Structure 1
Amino acid sequence: MPDMLVRLYALPEKRSPRLAAGISIRRAMAPERRPVLSWVEEHFGAGWAGEAEAAFSSTPTRIHIALDEDRLVGFACHDVTALGFFGPTGVEGIMRGRGIGEALLVETLLTMRAIGYAYAIIGGAGPTEFYARTVGAVEIPDSAPGIYAGMLSPGTRTEAT
């Protein structure tokens, strides 16, 4: 999957209005670390949970969460694998198609712009059409596998032989 580039200075000021009643997006707080990480690992695996854990290492955190009333349904991180990177991000399967992913994306990118970035990189972008349509992201040529090349997988042996 290629990396994509987003011009943050070209984003509109207005946030995504498509969220259903009861859905909110906000930055996660440090005391929410354990439940958020457990949820991310359960829904998206250990790799993404590791990146989400890194997002809790700064104040303020670098992770936004989506809530349906008081139930966690999505997340988005920035500046975890590398500075200037957006992701990972994910929305619970049964909640997809309701504008939550778009709202998480836009809120996180606006946060990145507010702290001084002019551009953001979406690392290993899965749904490239979504990112192009939503925020005008463009593919970075020859960027796959990029920074993720040679990454350890959950099944990698770590003990000495």
Structure 2
Amino acid sequence: MIDMLVRLYELPDSCPVYDRVEQQGIILRRARAYERHIVAAWAGEHFSPKWESEVKVAFSRQPVTCYIATKDKEILGFACYETTAKGFYGPTGVNEAARGTGIGKALLFMAMEGLKDLGYVYGMIGGVGPREFYEKAIGAVEIPGSDPGIYRDILPG
């Protein structure tokens, strides 16, 4: 799976994306330190133990580098940055029942804006699955020669 590069200085306007999600009663916010066990367990249960580990790394940062989407105090999705490597986005995931609501795109924007706030000019998306989504949503481009990139020699489990 390839890595992609995002020009953080040319991010599209995120306000319409946030508005769409918030009009559905969904709250977008930075996760709080005391929620680490909840968010990490949710990521592990719905996605993978490896992602649970990365979420825990996001909670070791100050400020926390994990955003969540909630509705009625239930997690619908999350997005992290600065976990696998500096300047990297991910992991990210949205509950299957909540897909199509715009949560994934909104969380992507929040994380990319978080990278930009840290002073990065470029952000990287590692081991991309939905390539077309990232191209369309934020103008991400493939990094030539990036497969397998940082995700080589991954331990099983």
TM range (shorter): over 0.9
Q: Is 1:36 paired with 2:47?
A: no
Alignment partners' CA distance in 2, 1:89 and 1:153: 20
Alignment partners' CA distance in 1, 2:75 and 2:144: 35
Corresponding residue of 1:2? 2
Corresponding residue of 1:47? 50
Please tell me the residue identity of whatever aligns with 1:6. V
RMSD: 1.0
Decide which of 18, 21, 42 is 2:20's aligned counterpart.
18
Cα deviation for residue 153 of structure 1 reads 1.6
Corresponding residue of 1:82? 85
State which structure, 1 or 2, has the greater radius of gyration over its C-alpha atoms.
Answer: 1
* Unaligned stretches of 5+ residues in structure 1: 155-161
1:61-113 per-residue CA deviation (whole Å, 9 max, x = no partner) reads 01001101311010000000100000010000111011000000001111111
Decide which of 133, 137, 141 is 1:138's aligned counterpart.
141
Alignment partners' CA distance in 2, 1:124 and 1:85: 10
Number of residue-to-residue matches in the alignment: 154
Q: Is 1:109 paired with 2:107?
A: no
| % identity of equivalent residues | 49
User: Structure 2 length as normaliser, TM-score?
Assistant: 0.95
User: Structure 1 length as normaliser, TM-score?
Assistant: 0.92
Could you tell me whether the CA contact under 8 Å between 2:14 and 2:106 is conserved in 1? no
* Unaligned stretches of 5+ residues in structure 2: none
Could you tell me whether the CA contact under 8 Å between 2:12 and 2:138 is conserved in 1? no
**Could you say which structure has the higher helix fraction?**
2
